[in-house]
Amino acid sequence: MKLLAKALSEKIPEVISLTGRMGAKETSEIFKRISETPAGRQLTLVATGKYIGEGFAVRNGIRVVVITRPAEDYRETDQVALQGTLAILQNAGIQMIFRPNIHQKFAVADQRIVWYGSINLLSFGSAEESIMRLESPAIAYGLMKTVYNS
């Protein structure tokens, strides 16, 4: 995490790291810094799975599509938890598309914001993984094209 944040900060402004290992005071200061960042200013957050969901707000009218492997592609021991997660998503009106043999891990919002990394977005495990947020219509389009054209 530290190496990624350092490398990014050498190329782009306003890179913030947030991990579960930080103390309460430092975490609070980071959340304050994030909340005080003006809307038009670029901010890159490098965070562990514990915090990566912070700041997600579902707006009315948003279209959400989740593309994942079918339940039978998962280990039998994981299928019950997976079915529960999928049921919650479907009951919330989220469109589900099932594709075998995929391993991509990304989310696209507003056809321009990309969350990309090693994190399993539908994960129910306890592993600490990473993800980064990019704002790029070109990258968003390219990722969506790879999924919808497969």
3-state secondary structure of 67: strand
Give a yes or no: residue 92 inside a domain: yes
Per-residue pLDDT of the chain (150 residues; tens, 9 = 90+): 677 777 778 877 888 887 777 788 888 888 788 778 777 777 777 776 555 554 444 445 567 778 888 888 888 888 888 888 888 778 777 888 888 888 777 888 778 888 888 776 666 556 667 788 888 999 989 988 887 776
Give a yes or no: residue 106 inside a domain: yes
Give me the domain span that covers residue 94.
60-111+136-150
**Nearest Cα to Cα of residue 62 among 118, 109, 30, 103:** 109
In the block, which residue shows the tokens 């529960």? 84
- Provide the greatest CA pair distance for the chain: 46
Give a yes or no: residue 38 inside a domain: no
3-state secondary structure of 69: coil
Rounded-to-integer distance, Cα 142 and Cα 54, Å:
26
Q: What is the pTM of this model?
A: 0.50
Give a yes or no: residue 104 inside a domain: yes
Give a yes or no: residue 46 inside a domain: no
Give a yes or no: residue 73 inside a domain: yes
Give a yes or no: residue 18 inside a domain: no
Give a yes or no: residue 149 inside a domain: yes
The dihedral built from the CA positions of residue 23, 28, 29 and 30, taken in this order, carries a sign that is positive
**Nearest Cα to Cα of residue 138 among 102, 104, 108, 105:** 108
Rounded-to-integer distance, Cα 70 and Cα 91, Å:
17
